[in-house]
Amino acid sequence: MSKPISGFSKLSKSKKIEWIVNTYFSNNKIAKQILEQYWNTNENIQQLHDEFIENTITNYYLPFGVAPNFLINNKLYTIPMAIEESSVVAAASKSAKFWLDRGGFKTKVISTTKIGQVHFMFFGNSHHLISYFNHIKSRLLEDVKPITKNMELRGGGVIDIELRDKTEDIKGYYQLHVSFETLDAMGANFINSCLEQFAKTFKEEALNFKDFTTEEKNIQIVMSILSNYVPDCLVRAEVSCKIEDLNEDKDISPEEFVSKFVQAVNIAEVEPYRAVTHNKGIMNGIDAVVLATGNDFRAVEAGVHAYASRNGKYSSLTHAKIENGMFYFWMEIPLALGTVGGLTGLHPLVKLALELLHHPSAKDLMQIVAVAGLAQNFAALRSLTTTGIQKGHMKMHLMNILNQFGANEYEKATIIDYFKTHTVSHSAVVEILQNLRIKN
């Protein structure tokens, strides 16, 4: 049984590893070898990785792939994707190729507003608080000028501040609800710095406000923090074509395919059990590009799923319809992304990813990421409503199974050839592999 350790963060990396492998692993030599083999041989790059987070002992690699042939607003892209799940890159690539000959993807940024809040408690007269807010609002904006100066020079900054009464939810609870434009930066640090200054001014100046009673002057700041729910930082992506142009699959007519496809989307709009898996597939594409470009996929995930529940019931992010002989498939999704700041200027692969995407602005990246999600969803629904999801997915997963059991090159080639005409399953792969090894 391990014991607590004091001063772990102050240890060198080698000492951290020594303690970890000796405390937790039965074969500390192999454990140490595994940790060390994922170090970057370039010392400068490894030091950079070591300093991204605290207590670094090694690197955890994800495959970095690309999906070519994405035509977005008549401009061709090859999209970088960092992900470990089989078939995601292949599905995105297949969707890109499918729509390349059908007009490609059309996108539009609807809005780019981000939100931050100062949460505070006030137990006095609400009319006095409203009067104070109106009195102090211009001072709040003035006091953040040193923080917002550079952002304002580029066309961004604080858009507005509202006082919101939340006392029906929690007694005495109010907010300063602040909207921001952060341009090509994701803007978390900028927003949080502004909010903390708002909170400081708001609390200190309350002591001098003549309409407050003595008790009312004591405004209690609870916290100041940006929100990852960004329903007004919104992008739309869509595809459309004549129904007869959906004619790639010889086993199903375009009319039957599009009918089943639209019904599949309709089901995800009303059935939360389906909607969660449906939207997870969208996020396969989105997260992979968000990761590859050094953005915060956890923030994106949280905001997107909140948006999917905005009407009181979790529902599909994508929509589809048939109208006047045309098929339409689209999505509007909130994405707060950045192309400057954070890892975008530090991680060498992130720099390459952004160059691969023609050095996009934040608005450009919103559109590219949304397209990756829509393409992924199209590929998944196309499989589900025709051959079924497992046929393609398990063939992509076949190599993972073979590697899991240490198959050699001959065994891999033989088994891959066999499953070109047979259904892949874990048990079937294991059985054939065992039979091969008995014969040899």
By the 8 A CB rule, do 347 and 371 touch?
A: no
- Cβ atoms < 10 Å from Cβ of 171: 9
Helix (H) / strand (E) containing 111: strand 106-112
Distance between CA atoms of residues 233 and 225, nearest Å: 17
Rounded to whole angstroms, how far apart are CA atoms 292 and 274?
28
Catalytic choice (32, 363, 393, 397): 393
Amino acid identity, residue 350? V
Q: Is 395 exposed, middle or buried (0-12, 13-18, 19+ CB in 10 A)?
A: middle
Which is catalytic among the residues 296, 363, 364, 397? 296
CA distance 296 to 342: 10
Q: Distance between CA atoms of 353 and 347, rounded to whole angstroms? A: 10
- The burial class, CB within 10 Å (0-12 / 13-18 / 19+), for 336 is buried
Nearest partner of 234 among 144, 148, 336, 328, judged by Cα: 336
Identify how many contiguous H helices and E strands the chain contains and give both numbers.
Answer: 15, 10
Q: Is 393 a catalytic residue?
A: yes
3-state secondary structure 350-402: HHHHHHHCCCCCHHHHHHHHHHHHHHHHHHHHHHHCCCCHHHHHHHHHHHHHH
The CA distances from residue 93 to 99, 160, 237, 292, 335, in Å, are 10, 42, 17, 16, 22
Given the residues 18, 85, 249, 411, the one annotated as active site: 85
* Cα(146)–Cα(152) distance, integer angstroms: 10
Element (H, E) at 330: strand 326-334
Are 293 and 354 contacting, i.e. CB atoms less than 8 angstroms apart?
yes
Angstrom distance (rounded) from CA 199 to CA 145: 15
Residue 296: active-site member: yes
- Cβ partners under 8 Å of residue 134, min gap 6: none
* Cβ neighbours of 117 (radius 10 Å): 19
Q: What is the C-alpha to C-alpha distance for residues 399 and 411, in angstroms, rounded to an integer?
A: 11
Q: Annotated catalytic sites, by residue? A: 85, 280, 296, 393
